[in-house]
Amino acid sequence: MNWLLPKGTSTVAAEVDALLQFIIVVSIILFIIVVGGTALFVVLYRKKKQEQVDFTKDLSHNTKLEIIWTVIPLILVTIVFFWGFKSYMKIRLAPGDAIEIKVTAQKWFWQFDYPDGVSNTNELVVPAGVPVKLVMSSQDVIHSFFVPNFRVKMDVLPNRYTVAWFEATENGVYDLFCAEYCGTGHSKMLGKVRVVSEPEYAAWLEENSSFGEGMSLAELGAKLYKSKACVTCHSVDGSPLVGPTFKGVFGHTVKLNDGSSVKADENYLRESILKPQAKVVEGFQPVMPTYQSILKPREVDALIEYIKSLGE
Ligand code: CUA
């Protein structure tokens, strides 16, 4: 039945799949017995001719039959309960030696903060064969962290931490979805989980702790545009998405929602990144989150340089 599900690439996947397959097989068998039996009786005992009507005698009950149809389902649901509970405990309780990564969900992207200060947006890089514990919270509404290949799904709530963990068994790039409707950008709240070998993971951490060194500001800005998920809501080709395009905005006069207008200079761009609700562009909703805690000062400069470089 493997075609039913994406390939399982975590330590709990096989167990989850086995239980699911057991439930599907039992359901199919019971469906055939119940619906097949009903159909058979409809044909066998249908009313044939008016004169042949032969009324059924009064029946009270059949103890043997009733015990059978009570005890068999009871055994089946008891198996499902204990099997499910055992897997559930395994999925809920992270091993003590797991790498702990902080996950922050926000309309409409994922931020991952690693123990040693590295952070990344929309791409969770983890080593294979090592348990990873995710401590998750949301900045706004309810989101849900869902990696189908790992059979891991957990709600991410504001004002509270929820925990999920997994141990990936195979290197590869896997889809990360938000599985809770969280507004206009929900369907674009997509991420990836990249599973690499342990040495590659160490190298990745190393490389990202010195992220942006030796790059020009505009180059760094172009990288941040993608890695900090600006790309979800702002195009660079002139087309409006959830937010206005970055193309040609610098130096131009921007019309605001309150009827006033403002010249798009460095200060306007900076304010729009750090305090997005201060000036909302005409025709757009005030839905952008603040990047105050997400970008370092040099990164704000870099994004502004990048937007400038997009010209007209
Ligand atoms: Cu976040 Cu749906």
Ligand 1 contacts CB of residue 152 (under 6 A): no
Residue 171 · residue 7 · CB < 8 Å: no
According to the model, what pLDDT value does residue 229 have? 81
What is the amino acid identity at position 39? A
What's the rounded Cα separation, in Å, for the pair 158 and 143?
A: 9
Q: Which of 18, 152, 8, 170 is nearest to 94 (CA)?
A: 152
Number of the ligand 1 atom closest to the C-alpha atom of 141 = 1
E strand segments, the chain: 99-106, 109-113, 119-121, 123-127, 131-138, 143-147, 152-156, 162-167, 172-178, 191-196, 253-255, 261-263
Ligand 1 contacts CB of residue 118 (under 6 A): no
Residue 276 · residue 192 · CB < 8 Å: no
What is the amino acid identity at position 311? G
Distance 244 CA to ligand 1 centre (A): 21
Residue 141 · residue 110 · CB < 8 Å: no
Number of the ligand 1 atom closest to the C-alpha atom of 179 = 2
What's the rounded Cα separation, in Å, for the pair 247 and 208?
A: 28
Q: Which of 168, 157, 179, 22 is nearest to 86 (CA)?
A: 22
Ligand 1 contacts CB of residue 279 (under 6 A): no
Ligand 1 contacts CB of residue 143 (under 6 A): yes
According to the model, what pLDDT value does residue 73 have? 92
Beta carbons within 10 angstroms of residue 170's beta carbon: 13
Ligand 1 contacts CB of residue 178 (under 6 A): yes
Ligand 1 contacts CB of residue 189 (under 6 A): yes
Beta carbons within 10 angstroms of residue 13's beta carbon: 21
Tokens of 271: 């304010």
Distance 107 CA to ligand 1 centre (A): 7
Ligand 1 contacts CB of residue 134 (under 6 A): no
According to the model, what pLDDT value does residue 132 have? 95
Beta carbons within 10 angstroms of residue 274's beta carbon: 15
Asked if residue 108 has a cis previous peptide bond (ω within 30° of 0), the answer is yes
Distance 185 CA to ligand 1 centre (A): 7
According to the model, what pLDDT value does residue 178 have? 95
**Using CB atoms within 10 A of its CB, is residue 123 exposed (0-12), middle (13-18) or buried (19+)?**
middle
Ligand 1 contacts CB of residue 186 (under 6 A): yes
Q: Which of 203, 210, 201, 197 is nearest to 117 (CA)?
A: 210
Protein residue with its CA nearest to atom 1 in ligand 1: 143
Ligand 1 contacts CB of residue 229 (under 6 A): no
Ligand 1 contacts CB of residue 110 (under 6 A): no
Identify the residue whose tokens are 């090592």.
130
| Model confidence pLDDT, tens digit, residues 262-284 | 888 888 999 999 898 888 998 88
Distance 76 CA to ligand 1 centre (A): 36
What's the rounded Cα separation, in Å, for the pair 247 and 254?
A: 13
According to the model, what pLDDT value does residue 51 have? 65
According to the model, what pLDDT value does residue 101 have? 94
Number of the ligand 1 atom closest to the C-alpha atom of 143 = 1
Ligand 1 contacts CB of residue 188 (under 6 A): no
Distance 54 CA to ligand 1 centre (A): 62
Distance 299 CA to ligand 1 centre (A): 26
What stretches in the chain show pLDDT beneath 70?
1, 50-54, 211-212, 312
What's the rounded Cα separation, in Å, for the pair 88 and 237?
A: 47
Identify the residue whose tokens are 């599973």.
195
Q: Which of 174, 165, 103, 89 is nearest to 130 (CA)?
A: 165
Pairing status of strand 123-127 against strand 191-196: parallel
What is the amino acid identity at position 188? K
- Residue by residue, what is the 3-state secondary structure of 258-288? CCCEEECCHHHHHHHHHCCCCCCECCCCCCC
Strand partners, 191: 176
Distance 211 CA to ligand 1 centre (A): 28
